[in-house]
């Protein structure tokens, strides 16, 4: 009997996917490769994983990269078609928050990425795994004063978000000497509070949580849609709790779990990610592998002219 075909996997993400900060010679400690090792340990045959992930990428960056490298994944492309991946892992969003994008902006582009991920996975939602945005708020880059200066100095949009709030022109009333804002006072107070909290540890934690809630909402919406392929839906793995609670010791970040840059993670943390995701990935891949084996058995009986 022919061997089962090697299974294909695709990882869509950012620096946490590609393993930024691990250091030269340690690239195999990145999460995708550690997950592949976990799956091979349970005798799943896997090809080398395909990665579309770049340090600093937002949802819009990733969509642009896919438009260039995989134009057929864009629903507007005339050659739009489904992919042939057995497992697709999507992990994106921390840079949307880092750069000051709104929750609405993230939600809109995350929805498009998730639909593309499903398309890559042969239109089978059960083959797609979404990872939550990790708790960047628990990293050394946020825990100390250095994190504040780093973020302020890196992006003009971040500085703007911390120092100002937006007021629509229609809400301004200008006289010869004064400018009056005709806007609900509670709304203005809420915006000021958000701006002040934008680069505080508690504010960052709340922001990441709001992005993750938005992603879960999109997943629920898509999982409720009728599907011809599979009744099971996209799987969601919460890494935020792990990276927020287990990354700290006595209230301070555990240096063993972070890269030297204080932003990204070490191979030890990615080992925990692989453990957290392997069960969900095994379930999807074993089902595919079993179905594939069953089809081959039927084909072999037919070829031999025997009835089952």
3-7, 18-22, 233-237: range with lowest mean pLDDT: 3-7
Comparing C-alpha atoms, which of 89, 91, 9 is closest to residue 49? 9
**pLDDT higher than threshold 50 for residue 141:** yes
Report domain 9-139+205-304's class. Answer: alpha beta
34-48, 147-161, 167-181, 196-210: range with lowest mean pLDDT: 147-161
Q: Specify the pLDDT at position 150.
A: 65
The alpha-carbon radius of gyration of the chain (Å, integer) is 23
- Helices in 226-307 by DSSP H: which ranges? 240-245, 267-304
Comparing C-alpha atoms, which of 34, 18, 202, 218 is closest to residue 113? 218
CA distance 265 to 140: 11
Q: Give mean pLDDT, residues 97-119.
A: 94
Q: Specify the pLDDT at position 306.
A: 43
CA distance 151 to 156: 9
Comparing C-alpha atoms, which of 290, 297, 299 is closest to residue 7? 290
Q: Specify the pLDDT at position 286.
A: 83
H or E segment to which residue 76 belongs: none
Comparing C-alpha atoms, which of 288, 17, 269 is closest to residue 127? 288
């Amino acid at each position: 009997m022919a061997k089962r075909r090697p299974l294909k996997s695709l990882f869509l993400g950012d620096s946490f996917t590609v393993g930024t900060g691990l250091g030269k010679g340690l690239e195999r400690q990145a999460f995708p490769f550690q997950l592949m090792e976990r799956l091979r340990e349970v005798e799943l045959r896997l090809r080398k994983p395909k990665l579309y992930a770049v340090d600093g990428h937002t949802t819009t960056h990733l969509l642009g990269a896919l438009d260039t490298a995989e134009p057929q994944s864009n629903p507007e492309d005339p050659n739009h078609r489904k992919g042939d991946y057995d497992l697709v892992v999507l992990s994106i969003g921390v840079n949307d928050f880092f750069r000051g994008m709104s929750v609405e902006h993230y939600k809109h582009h995350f929805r498009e990425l998730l639909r593309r991920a499903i398309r890559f996975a042969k239109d089978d939602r059960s083959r797609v795994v979404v990872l939550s945005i990790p708790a960047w708020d628990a990293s050394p880059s946020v825990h100390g004063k250095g994190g504040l200066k780093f973020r302020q100095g890196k992006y003009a949009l971040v500085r703007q978000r911390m120092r100002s709030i937006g007021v629509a022109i229609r809400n301004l009333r200008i006289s010869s000497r004064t400018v009056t804002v005709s806007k609900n006072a509670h709304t203005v107070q809420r915006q000021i509070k958000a701006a002040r909290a934008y680069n505080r540890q508690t504010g960052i934690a709340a922001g990441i949580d709001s992005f993750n809630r938005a992603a879960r909402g999109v997943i629920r919406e898509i999982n409720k849609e009728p599907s011809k392929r599979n009744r099971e839906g996209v799987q969601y793995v919460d890494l935020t709790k792990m990276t927020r609670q287990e990354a700290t010791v006595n209230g301070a970040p555990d240096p063993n779990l972070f890269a030297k840059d204080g932003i990204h993670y070490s191979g030890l943390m990615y080992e925990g990610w692989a453990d957290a995701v392997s069960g969900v990935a095994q379930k999807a891949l074993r089902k595919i592998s079993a179905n594939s084996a069953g089809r081959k058995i039927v084909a072999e009986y037919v070829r031999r002219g025997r009835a089952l």
